[in-house]
Structure 1
Amino acid sequence: MPRVIGRVGVILLLLVLTACSAGPSDRPAVAYRDDGNSGARTPRNSESRTVPPLGPSSHNALNWSDCTGTTRSELGPNHSPEGMRFSCTNLLTSTDPPGTVRGGTTRIALLAAGSGDVPLVVVNDIRGAPGTTFAARLATRLPERMLREFRIIGMDRRGTGESDPTNCVPKEEREAITRFDSRATDEAALDRLLESVRTASQKCLLDLERRAQTYDTRHTSDDLEELRLQLDVPRLHAIGRGEGSRVLSVYARDHPNSVGRMVFDGAPDPTLKTLAQLKRRADSAERTFDVFAARCRDSEECALGDSPRQRLDSLIERTRGQALSTGGAPLTSGELARAVLHGLENREDWPSLTRAIAAAEDGDGSALAGFIRNSEAGADRLGQRMVTRCNDTMLRLPPERARNIAEEWVDSRPLFGGVFAQRLIRCSTWPRPQQAMPSPGNGRLPRIPVITTENDPLTPATGSENMAATLPDGSRMSWLGSGHGALGRSDCVTELVSGFLAAGEVPPRDAACPA
């Protein structure tokens, strides 16, 4: 039975939704909060007036071609159901920076899965897997009715994946920044990091020229509108994951009449500025590791014994003096911390992460390196992330302030504090954007469910809750589990989201799904 922390005077009810036959359509238990005015639940359909219609079908002009073979190869043989087909194409969109009349175009990669006629666009974080890859993986985890109703479309963000790449950070600077000591706090060391960042920024500004400041959330929102027009549909139905939800919130603000059925699977906190957001994310990452450690200790065989945190702490400290052997480039302490952070994103990877940490204690860092290096091979992921993130924030810290924050966060958040503090330094020499990030939505938006994950190392639940409260008709749906994103990982959440997107069934407000 799900566990829900309620407010005083709030009644928790358990709703067991069942189907007539066993199978994927069976609905798991859901807890929700009543309004306290009656003993009966308000029927879902009474709120369906807040849900936009799905149709009409798409009659897009995009030239799709089959890419099943390459996609299945990328996903791996055990992660793509037999018979699932994928198709790919490209979208050309304007690179015009704000205030200009004419500009060039950039190519954005798209991938589609499913046999439905109604497009459902998936927008991922700027970090991690490209949007096309993430959408393909998500499609393999969605119920059959979603694939029959929708054409799931993943979009690579500008400069990422198979889109026109940024590739602007020289290899030497890229390695210096990504391999940097996650616990460095002294002036000389952080000055070396700042110099690498300065060189990388200058190179990106020279290579990208007038396009440099068009890699941001606002332009990604415009890319979505161009995609909607090319798909020839009146409304954009979409799923945003993590930071991708912020893109959808900006789209909703700028194109309120084109908003269809949207779901935010975690979202950055719109009430906090960059420094406070990163601090809270570091806290959430530390808490998620503690949940990981507790699950390990509770298992029959925990390779990290009774003190996983202490052992990882010691391993990071030891690796600062001597990098770990991997069969390739040695794994530094900075890479080690980021690798563990990557491993915490997916609950299914936790057993492998446990074994990788234990192997690293014995001097073999190859398994841990796989959590970050395999996904970044041959790509300038640093440049893609850095340019977009710096264009999305006005914060530029002077060196002394950056050093003070690094020292404070490394001391109070020893596993991941330095990782997040160094992201502040990466924007130190990048030009400020012309406009601050807009606030989400406006009063004309339909119902938008926002999913919170209790232990998310990258998108704290409190931030997602604040996003739901900020939207004019946002509603929270909680998953009491762990990892980055709940859709496709929690059967309960996936079923509720499928009912909302495919059938217009509004989930109960404050629904809570078990871990």
Structure 2
Amino acid sequence: MRWTRAAVMASALSTALSIMIAGCGAGPSDRPDVAVERPGVASNPTTSAAAAPPPVAEVPKTDLSWRDCTAPTLNLLGLGPAPSGLVLDCAEYSTPIDASGSVLGSFRTGAMRARLAQTPTDVPPLVLTSGTDRSSTATLAGLAVGGPALLSDRAIVAVDRRGLGSSQPIDCLPAEIRRGLADNGQFGPGAADQVGAVSEFSQDGTIACRDFLQPYEGTFDATHAADDIEQLRKQWQVERIDLLGSGNGAKVALSYARKFGDHLAKLVLDSPEPVGTDAVTKEEQRLQGAEAALSGFAQRCTGLGCSLGADPRAAVADLVARAGNGGLGDISANALLTTITGFLGAPRADQASRVTELADALSAAGRGDRAALSTLMLRESAATASDGQFVNRCTDTQQPPTPSKATELRTTWGQKYPVFGAAAAVALMDCSAWPVSGTPPLPTKLNIPVLVMVGIADPVVGNGGTASVTGALGAAGAQHATVTWQGWGHPVFTHSGCAQRALLDYLKTAKLPADATACPA
């Protein structure tokens, strides 16, 4: 089989695993109080003596060949020394390129397990997928370093999507196209028409990657990612697993529920991206979350007297405008915004103590010293701009806009969302040339309760898509309850102690909290 030129050079951890060392915002709340905003509309029915016991996940009978990768992982990600007792184990397992057999061959899927010295070994692990937002292994590493308390109760196993993180990498984009997409076409001969420039980069990148990957260029969707998780279940020789999908990973989790719902014991959808939504609507929902998260950061920054001055939000907006006009040299506005978004949405739970790190990097760049900002940009670029993410994201994209619509939105969103809007409109063209995939089928019948968690200021997916997800669950007959975190960041379970308690209670008892439970920031 032919998979990728980079396969022979693949290390146990791909540079796509990299994430930024910093996050900012309110950390996990240890306040015990929660509020119920309205009466539960999807709470558990009254149990009867004749009711069947809830399904339970099992401890793996045949585990993967784990190896300790704590130090190299944290060094690669720039996450600093490991908290006392933290162990990160890495492993790979072979999965069919296509489970139906229409395309022969296999590839290497990467997984990582996080645990503490005291983590029980007789409790089934929680399987995590964060989809394409950043690699699942990077998401788990951020959680483990920033707030590992959840690991005291059970281990978490993260599974990377194809071509991301520690899975077999993809190397298909020419360097100039990769850079052009990252910079939103700001530099080069086509800079006068950034929408047109990115459209051309998309066309050239699509041709390059699909030619390189054929005949399996169509196997990078959420459905095939669900097949890879099912292969892990089979490897473990267990009947049921507990699964958490965050952000784009919620789409993978829903695909797993549709295909393999009988093998689920518990299902958690954390900060899910919308389902059945076109690219423009989905991106505007993300923009709303990004602007709200920046406001939350600015408020915290002001309270700390940070280096961005009396109005941190205005200082950030000014720096983005300067980058867009070439005032930061080769740092484009889009690359700067990608870094800021990644920082605001970092999975680390210790954001409150790291606000000044982003503030100091931005203020130094404003004075002409770009060293700290460049370091953050490199880490975030490695986390969110790999060739594998281009392929997976474009495969997942539904109904991208025309160039004329994107040009119109550049003006409209630039006014409505003054920091992130204009760049987001141009970036809508990233996947404009990729063949549009069909909408992934949703579960038609789901017999387990589902926990949904959402944040009010999520810079990665926003929260406008929650209704589409809970609607799909209701249509499948699944009981569900939503927990809303009042802070900012992504995903919820890494930041909120209140949400973590709700998650652990659900995993232990299969009982949902009252619907519309609110967790304080």
For 1:309, the equivalent position in structure 2 comes to 313
For 2:5, the equivalent position in structure 1 comes to none
Q: Is the 8 A contact 1:136 1:154 kept in 2?
A: no
Question: Could you tell which deviates more after superposition, 72-81 or 279-288?
Answer: 72-81
Q: Name the % identity.
A: 28
- Separation (CA, whole Å) in 1 of partners of 2:310 and 2:193: 37
- Separation (CA, whole Å) in 1 of partners of 2:60 and 2:232: 11
- Separation (CA, whole Å) in 2 of partners of 1:462 and 1:116: 38
Q: Is the 8 A contact 1:44 1:507 kept in 2?
A: no
Q: What SS is found at the alignment partner of 2:214?
A: helix
Q: What SS is found at the alignment partner of 2:464?
A: helix
- Separation (CA, whole Å) in 2 of partners of 1:161 and 1:213: 20
Amino acid at match of 1:334: N
Q: 1:1-39: per-residue Cα shift (whole Å, max 9, x none)? A: xxxxxxxxxxxxxxxxxxxxxxx99871111256499xx
Shift of 1:45: 9.3
Q: Is the 8 A contact 1:97 1:211 kept in 2?
A: no
For 1:514, the equivalent position in structure 2 comes to 520
Change (3 A) 1:45 1:26: farther
Q: 1:164-184: per-residue Cα shift (whole Å, max 9, x none)? A: 111111111111221236799
Change (3 A) 1:323 1:202: farther
Amino acid at match of 1:494: Q
For 2:168, the equivalent position in structure 1 comes to 164
Which of 121, 132, 137 in structure 2 is aligned with 1:126? Answer: 132
Q: 1:200-233: per-residue Cα shift (whole Å, max 9, x none)? A: 1111112111121211111101111111111111
Q: Higher relative contact order at CA 8 Å, sep ≥6: structure 1 or structure 2?
A: 2
Q: 1:382-435: per-residue Cα shift (whole Å, max 9, x none)? A: 4222211221134243332332233322233231113322332111211232x3
Q: Is the 8 A contact 2:278 2:400 kept in 1?
A: no
Change (3 A) 1:290 1:141: closer
In the TM superposition, 1:91-240 aligns within 5 A as 91-96=93-98, 101-114=102-115, 115-117=120-122, 118-128=124-134, 130-140=135-145, 147=151, 150-180=154-184, 188-240=193-245
- Separation (CA, whole Å) in 2 of partners of 1:514 and 1:303: 27
For 2:16, the equivalent position in structure 1 comes to none
Q: Is the 8 A contact 1:94 1:106 kept in 2?
A: yes
Question: Does 2:476 correspond to 1:475?
Answer: no
Amino acid at match of 1:369: S
For 1:426, the equivalent position in structure 2 comes to 430
Change (3 A) 1:51 1:468: farther
- Separation (CA, whole Å) in 1 of partners of 2:110 and 2:47: 39
Q: Is the 8 A contact 1:266 1:453 kept in 2?
A: yes
Amino acid at match of 1:53: P
Q: CA RMSD in A?
A: 3.2
For 2:15, the equivalent position in structure 1 comes to none
Amino acid at match of 1:278: E
Any gaps of 5 or more consecutive residues in structure 1? 1-23
Q: Is the 8 A contact 2:68 2:88 kept in 1?
A: yes
For 1:280, the equivalent position in structure 2 comes to 285
For 2:332, the equivalent position in structure 1 comes to 332
Q: What SS is found at the alignment partner of 2:424?
A: helix
For 1:59, the equivalent position in structure 2 comes to 61
Question: Could you tell which deviates more after superposition, 331-340 or 305-314?
Answer: 305-314
Q: What SS is found at the alignment partner of 1:442?
A: coil
Q: Is the 8 A contact 1:166 1:380 kept in 2?
A: no
In the TM superposition, 1:300-379 aligns within 5 A as 300-324=304-328, 330-346=330-346, 347-348=351-352, 349-377=354-382
For 2:387, the equivalent position in structure 1 comes to 383
Q: Is the 8 A contact 1:93 1:226 kept in 2?
A: yes
TM-score, structure 1 length as denominator? 0.83
Shift of 1:479: 0.7
Shift of 1:240: 1.5
- Separation (CA, whole Å) in 2 of partners of 1:43 and 1:499: 14
Change (3 A) 1:150 1:442: farther
- Separation (CA, whole Å) in 1 of partners of 2:181 and 2:434: 15
Which of 280, 283, 289 in structure 1 is aligned with 2:294? Answer: 289
- Separation (CA, whole Å) in 2 of partners of 1:28 and 1:509: 17
Which of 241, 249, 252 in structure 2 is aligned with 1:247? Answer: 252
Amino acid at match of 1:90: E
Change (3 A) 1:458 1:213: same
Q: Is the 8 A contact 1:169 1:380 kept in 2?
A: no
Which of 350, 371, 396 in structure 2 is aligned with 1:392? Answer: 396
Q: What SS is found at the alignment partner of 2:84?
A: coil
For 1:436, the equivalent position in structure 2 comes to 439
Amino acid at match of 1:429: A
Any gaps of 5 or more consecutive residues in structure 2? 1-27
- Separation (CA, whole Å) in 2 of partners of 1:387 and 1:300: 41
Change (3 A) 1:189 1:204: same
Change (3 A) 1:197 1:497: same
Q: 1:221-255: per-residue Cα shift (whole Å, max 9, x none)? A: 11111111111111121121211112111211121
Q: Is the 8 A contact 2:79 2:145 kept in 1?
A: no
Change (3 A) 1:94 1:319: same
Q: What SS is found at the alignment partner of 1:101?
A: coil
Q: 1:326-353: per-residue Cα shift (whole Å, max 9, x none)? A: xxxx322221122222222144443222
Q: Is the 8 A contact 1:181 1:320 kept in 2?
A: no
In the TM superposition, 1:66-85 aligns within 5 A as 66-74=68-76, 78=80, 80-85=82-87
Change (3 A) 1:397 1:339: same
- Separation (CA, whole Å) in 1 of partners of 2:30 and 2:508: 16
Change (3 A) 1:454 1:200: same
Q: What SS is found at the alignment partner of 2:215?
A: helix
- Separation (CA, whole Å) in 1 of partners of 2:48 and 2:387: 44
Q: 1:427-456: per-residue Cα shift (whole Å, max 9, x none)? A: 1211232x32223x3333311111111111
Shift of 1:140: 4.8
Question: Could you tell which deviates more after superposition, 469-478 or 50-59?
Answer: 50-59
TM-score, structure 2 length as denominator? 0.82
Shift of 1:266: 0.6
Structure showing greater radius of gyration is 1
Question: Could you tell which deviates more after superposition, 423-432 or 299-308?
Answer: 299-308
Change (3 A) 1:293 1:203: same
User: Aligned pairs, how many?
Assistant: 477
Q: What SS is found at the alignment partner of 2:411?
A: helix
Change (3 A) 1:45 1:147: farther
- Separation (CA, whole Å) in 2 of partners of 1:276 and 1:183: 28
- Separation (CA, whole Å) in 2 of partners of 1:142 and 1:51: 32
